[in-house]
Structure 1
Amino acid sequence: MSAADLGATQAALADLMRRVSSLVGDAETSAVAARIAAGNDRLSPVEQVDIYREQFFLRHVDVLREDFRSIEHLLGDDAFEALSKAYLSAVPPASYSLRDLGHGMARFVAEHEPWSSDALVADLARVEWAFVEAFDAPEAPPLDVTTIASAPEDAWPRARMIFQPSVQRVALRYPAHDYRISARKDEEPARPAEAKTWVVVYRGPAALQYIDIDADAFALLDELMRGAPLGEACERAAEKSGGALETFEAKLGAWFQEWTTFGWISRVDFGASPDR
Structure 2
Amino acid sequence: MQLNDWQRELEAYLLGQDTTANPALRASLLGSPALSAEDGLAIYHNAYRARLLEALRGDYHAVHGWLGDEAFDALAGAYIEAHPSQHFSLRWLGARLASFIEGYLMAEQSAPLSELARLEWAFSLAFDTPAGEPLSLQQMASLPAADWPTLQVRLLPSVQWQSCRYNSVAVWRALKDGTAFPGSTRLEQPQVCLIWRQGLISQYRSLEPGEAAALHGMAVAGWSFAELCAQLSELGDNAPLQAATWLRQWLSDGLLQRYGI
Shift of 1:193: 1.7
**What is the CA RMSD across the aligned residues, in angstroms?**
3.1
Shift of 1:22: 3.3
2:19 matched residue in structure 1? 23
* Residues 68-103 of structure 1: per-residue CA shift (max 9 Å, x gap): 121112111100000010111111111122222211
Shift of 1:247: 5.2
Equivalent of 2:222 in 224, 229, 239: 229
2:126 matched residue in structure 1? 134
CA distance 1:220–1:45, change in 2 (3 Å): farther
Equivalent of 2:71 in 60, 79, 90: 79
Shift of 1:264: 0.9
1:155 matched residue in structure 2? 150
Q: SS of the residue aligned with 1:118?
A: helix
Letter in 2 for 1:49: L
User: Residue 262 in 1 paired to residue 253 in 2?
Assistant: yes
Any stretches of 5+ residues in structure 2 without a counterpart?
A: none
Question: Does the CA contact (< 8 Å) of 1:109 and 1:115 recur in 2?
Answer: no
2:203 matched residue in structure 1? 209
1:121 matched residue in structure 2? 113
TM-score normalised per structure 2: 0.81
Shift of 1:45: 4.2
Count of matched residue pairs: 250
TM-score normalised per structure 1: 0.77
1:253 matched residue in structure 2? 244
Shift of 1:248: 9.4
CA distance 1:211–1:32, change in 2 (3 Å): farther
Question: Does the CA contact (< 8 Å) of 2:174 and 2:182 recur in 1?
Answer: no
Equivalent of 2:185 in 193, 207, 224: 193
User: Residue 146 in 1 paired to residue 139 in 2?
Assistant: yes
Cα distance between partner residues in 1 of 2:165 and 2:107: 15
Cα distance between partner residues in 1 of 2:7 and 2:234: 60
1:169 matched residue in structure 2? 161
Shift of 1:205: 4.7
User: Residue 54 in 1 paired to residue 37 in 2?
Assistant: no
1:7 matched residue in structure 2? 4
Question: Does the CA contact (< 8 Å) of 1:9 and 1:35 recur in 2?
Answer: no
Runs ≥4 residues deviating over 4 A: 40-47, 222-226
Shift of 1:10: 2.8
Cα distance between partner residues in 2 of 1:52 and 1:100: 21
